[in-house]
Amino acid sequence: MSLDQLFATRMGRMKASEIRELLKLLDQPDVISFAGGIPDPALFPAAAFRDAMVRALGDVQAGVSLQYSTSEGYPPLRRWIADHMRGLGVECGEDNILITSGSQQALDYLGKLFLSPGDTALVGWPTYLGALGAFNAYEPVYDRLDPKSNRAPSDFRAQAETRGGRVKFAYLSPDFANPTGVTLTREERESVLRLADDLDCAVIEDAAYQSLRYDGEPVAPILALELQRRGDIDACRTVYCGSFSKTLSPGLRIGWVCAAKTLINRMVLLKQAGDLHTPTLNQIVVADVVADGFEDHVETLRAHYRVKRDRMLAALERHMPAGVEWTRPEGGMFVWMTLPEGLDGAALLAEALRSERVAFVPGAAFHADGSGRNTLRLNFSSPGPDEIEEGITRLGQVLRASMAV
């Protein structure tokens, strides 16, 4: 008996990746893994959450924190986020904020909101794998967003029309992107906005790593740049997706959307239909913890991750053979590596696991067009500094052996 023939066509686009199968091997204790994308659990503010939980479950508060709540989100948390957004140059009110169950849910709802089958989504080559996963369910086609290219808007439009739809949005992560670690300049952000204006499409600004800057000057969010031009967030086409996953806890699943009220109102309908609301208790404890020293906590994170990033970059300088290139991120969790043409990241992973017990994510999966076989992603937030040194030494050995063949 099989129900397979009953599945909706959209399921055809939702496949488990071979990489995930390989990465199951990572639980083995002797493997040094750069394959994760998760925060260092030693840095979770566990004591602050413990205290906040006790308060939230006290006699009076428990009646609220264990109850259903509004789809828009817990008002004190929305207010704190609106204030945080104003600190980033985004003049907005509580009505411009929707709390989501992680920013991943925001990506899913934005796919649902904008994409009919055959519509075009502009994404980077490479881009965040989870965004492709979220959008795929709505059966879009992808075209390449490259802020460095001068490709004419008419060309994007023509491409989208031949595929049977139109360009609905440009999705990008302008700060310390997953997987590349790259940050867009102000000019590049402006050029994405100009393209979106020309195409009359939305911009989805994924700011999951925005707070994790270790050096260099912050660049204004795309939403802030657009707001400078239009003067009113309710007239903006940019949808900003924020998250507490990388700063406080991914397990609590708290993210947010900041955008024009008309868009927020539509997203609230999706939220009502999807999961009613994000868990009340989780929103209450996050509101409590951020009210008391969010910046100090993030400063501690930055200090720790900066050390790890520096350790990885220094080890790469020492151990990588000539011909291998990598990014030098100013923040976030990832370094992106490009191998000489002809080398294959997936084959290298199999070899690296077998011979040196070291892992990473091959880059092809991050490319909507299947290119990028000679790329790979390295994570520096999870392993300890000494593991980073040892792991990069091992990776250098695997690469040297592969390049000698």
Residues that bind ligand PMP (CB under 6 A): 37, 102-104, 128, 130, 173, 178, 206, 208, 243, 245, 250, 255
In the complex, minimum distance from the CB of residue 342 to ligand PMP, in angstroms, rounded to a whole number:
29
In the complex, minimum distance from the CB of residue 222 to ligand PMP, in angstroms, rounded to a whole number:
14
In the complex, minimum distance from the CB of residue 381 to ligand PMP, in angstroms, rounded to a whole number:
11
Residues 6+ apart with CB under 8 A from 232: none
Q: Please identify, using beta-carbon distances, which residue of 320 and 378 lies nearer to ligand PMP.
A: 378
Q: Please identify, using beta-carbon distances, which residue of 102 and 391 lies nearer to ligand PMP.
A: 102
Q: Please identify, using beta-carbon distances, which residue of 168 and 377 lies nearer to ligand PMP.
A: 377
Pairing mode, strands 202-206 and 167-172 = parallel
Distance CA 274, CA 351 (A): 42
Q: Please identify, using beta-carbon distances, which residue of 140 and 174 lies nearer to ligand PMP.
A: 174
Q: Please identify, using beta-carbon distances, which residue of 104 and 338 lies nearer to ligand PMP.
A: 104
Beta bridge partners of 171: 204
In the complex, minimum distance from the CB of residue 382 to ligand PMP, in angstroms, rounded to a whole number:
12
In the complex, minimum distance from the CB of residue 361 to ligand PMP, in angstroms, rounded to a whole number:
12
Distance CA 229, CA 222 (A): 11
Q: Please identify, using beta-carbon distances, which residue of 156 and 171 lies nearer to ligand PMP.
A: 171
In the complex, minimum distance from the CB of residue 69 to ligand PMP, in angstroms, rounded to a whole number:
19
Q: Please identify, using beta-carbon distances, which residue of 169 and 396 lies nearer to ligand PMP.
A: 169
Q: Please identify, using beta-carbon distances, which residue of 102 and 396 lies nearer to ligand PMP.
A: 102
Q: Which residue do the tokens 């909706």 mark?
A: 8
In the complex, minimum distance from the CB of residue 345 to ligand PMP, in angstroms, rounded to a whole number:
19
Q: Which of 171, 164, 25 is nearest to 103 (CA)?
A: 171
Q: Which residue do the tokens 């997936």 mark?
A: 346
In the complex, minimum distance from the CB of residue 230 to ligand PMP, in angstroms, rounded to a whole number:
25
- Measured CA to CA in angstroms, residue 172 lies from 69, 243, 303 at distances of 31, 15, 26
Angle at 249 between CA 248 and CA 250, to 5 degrees: 135
Q: Which residue minimizes CB distance to ligand PMP?
A: 102
